[in-house]
Amino acid sequence: MHKHLIAVTGATGVTGQHLIPRLARRGLNLRYLARDIRKARQFLGNDVELVAADLDDRASFDRALEGVHTLYLNSGHSPALEEQQTNAIEAAVATGCARIVKLSGNIDSPAPIPEAHKALEAKIAACGLRHTFLRPNFYMTNLHYVAAGLKDGDTFTSAIPRDVKISMTDPRDVADLTATVLDEDSEHDGQGYYQTGAAVSLDEVAETFSRVLNRDIRYEMVDVDVWEDMVTKRGLPSWLIEHQVKMIGFAANGAYAYVTNATEEITGQKPRTLETFIADHALAFART
């Protein structure tokens, strides 16, 4: 067994659920941290070490990180993201952790969440601990939200220009990269890995949906203010709408079209394709 104890946050999230079995297969020495122990236990099972820790409660992280060598830091979007993860970073320093591996995203966008990740990366880099930053671009799972209209129709809607390309990343690839970096310890010190799959336009996404689901599916572009009105009616909180409007503007300028080889270089596997993702999640896009 790996001698170093690794504390894992975000285990029940989009990438976390894929990360759990990958870490288990590697036989690492793991401690999972969760705010809701009962819910996490249902998710993680009974054969893992599970400790209560809440990112809003610095003292809980001071307790949870005792004896930990590496902190894997990952939490969901929140207007309090920077404050929450700062609690974990300061606790890691105070308890003598040696290393932080942080899941961020593209940190070059002017939107609130990327700006928080960028500030947090700077805090980690300045705190003296060894560190690695993982920066996957647009998760393919975001298509579950974008393509909600496919449940009862044949169009999906956004405000991103139809010819603009976005490199999309399968969360399973993020989990593969994360597990490799956590296992390989010092080989990735000081690195920030931008991770992507292939770059596709939303028209190409529609073509892929059509091909895989065997339906004629189209992308409908609307003005940003129309899109804002749609998601407001869906109940999206205002801070998240502000974040997404800025991300749409960034995407429209082509800033998410870049493609990297991080997945293959580090895991030895080619990134999963959009076709594979849609095929594996076909039921989620099926008509109801």
- Can you read off the two tokens belonging to residue 61? 């992280």
Do 271 and 198 touch, CB atoms closer than 8 A?
Answer: yes
Which one, of 123, 133, 66, 137, lies nearest residue 101 by Cα?
Answer: 133
- Secondary structure E strands in 41-167: 49-52, 70-73, 99-103, 130-136, 155-158, 165-167
Q: What is the pLDDT of residues 80-105, one digit of tens each?
A: 999 999 999 999 999 999 999 999 99
Structure tokens that stand for 48 in this block: 């893992």
pLDDT at 97: 98
How many alpha carbons lie under 13 Å from residue 129 in its C-beta half-sphere?
Answer: 29
Which residues, 6+ apart, have CB-to-CB distance to 162 below 8 Å?
201, 202, 203, 219, 221
Residues ≥6 apart with Cβ < 8 Å to 29: 1, 2, 3, 4, 5, 6
Map residue 19 onto helix, strand or coil: helix
**Positive or negative CA dihedral for 195, 276, 175, 23?**
negative
User: Is the four-CA dihedral 95, 101, 105, 107 of positive or negative sign?
Assistant: positive
Nearest to 191 by CA among 114, 88, 262: 262
Architecture of domain 142-165+198-259+268-285: Alpha-Beta Complex (3.90)
DSSP state of 189: T
Confidence (pLDDT) at 1: 41
Give me the residues of the chain with pLDDT under 70, please.
1-2
Q: How far is CA 287 from CA 6, 164, 280, 284, in A?
A: 42, 27, 16, 9
Boundaries of CATH 3.90.25.10 in the chain? 142-165+198-259+268-285
For domain 5-137+170-195, say whether CATH 3.40.50.720 is its number: yes
Encoding tokens for residue 98? 């040696």
Rounded distance between C-alpha atoms, residue 277 and residue 272, angstroms: 7
What stretch(es) of the chain map to CATH 3.40.50.720? 5-137+170-195
Beta-carbon contacts of residue 283 (< 8 Å; ≥ 6 apart): none
